[in-house]
Amino acid sequence: MMKMLKYTEFLYLVVAVISLYKIYSLWSIGKEYYLFVFFAVVSVAMFAFRRHYRKKFKKREQDNNS
């Protein structure tokens, strides 16, 4: 289960990269891109949040097992 959670972290980075691409493409033609800025920021924040807590739980699990 923990291995699957590790991979889902990177899905947030994929969403951020796609959002950054959409920001660039919409910005170059002068359309509104603010929603994709929100998606990019939230995705990067969620990646950091999930990674931090996964490492915290992994450390706690190792401490309990030893």
> Tens of pLDDT along 51-66?
999 899 889 988 888 7
- What pTM did the predictor assign? 0.82
Question: Splitting the chain (66 residues) into consecutive groups of 10 residues, what average pLDDT does each group show?
Answer: 79 96 93 94 96 90 84
> What does the pLDDT read at residue 45?
97
Angle at 22 between CA 31 and CA 53, to 5 degrees: 130
Interatomic CA distance for residues 6 and 17, integer angstroms: 18
